[in-house]
Amino acid sequence: MPAKDFYHDTVKNALIKDGWTITNDPYILSIGKRDLFFDLGANKLLSAEKGLKKIAVEIKSFTSLSRVNDLEKALAQYILYYDIIKNIEPERLLYLAITESIFEEFFTE
């Protein structure tokens, strides 16, 4: 099983404070003989009419010497996991959790 990212507990606690129920830590999907390890699986009851919202969260800390390399790995992993999860559990949304500073560095230019 992969090691937890540096911000794992921070993301988990933020989800709990926002009303999410952590259902899996880690969230494991089996594909044939292989397992995929998402960092977290969570559910949140939206309302009696709308039902349960399900998410999977992949957490990335960007701790190597090359942030661009970290971004390449994170996006490649996200795309792979997205394609797999939409076929197996299409009702579950996939999120990539990164720090605000990484978001600003790469996605707000």
> Is residue 87, in this structure, part of any structural domain at all?
yes
Both tokens of residue 22? 């952590």
> Is residue 91, in this structure, part of any structural domain at all?
yes
- What is the residue range of 42's domain? 8-107
What's the CATH number where 28 sits?
Answer: 3.40.1350.10
pLDDT score recorded for residue 47: 66
> Is residue 80, in this structure, part of any structural domain at all?
yes
> Is residue 1, in this structure, part of any structural domain at all?
no
43-53, pLDDT tens digit by residue? 998 766 667 89
95 DSSP β-pair partners: 57
Is the CB of residue 108 less than 8 Å from the CB of residue 72? no
pLDDT beyond 70 at 1: no
**Which residues lie closer than 8 Å to 5 by C-beta, 6 or more apart?**
39, 59, 60, 61
71-98, pLDDT tens digit by residue? 999 999 999 999 999 999 999 999 999 9
Name the residue with higher pLDDT: 109 or 67.
Answer: 67
Phi and psi angles of residue 74, each rounded to the nearest 5 degrees, phi first = -65, -45
pLDDT score recorded for residue 49: 64
pLDDT score recorded for residue 4: 79
The residue-averaged pLDDT of 4-28 equals 90
Count CA atoms within 13 Å of residue 6 on its CB side. 7
pLDDT score recorded for residue 96: 94
This prediction has a pTM of: 0.85
> Is residue 3, in this structure, part of any structural domain at all?
no
Q: Indicate the number of domains in the chain.
A: 1
> Is residue 45, in this structure, part of any structural domain at all?
yes
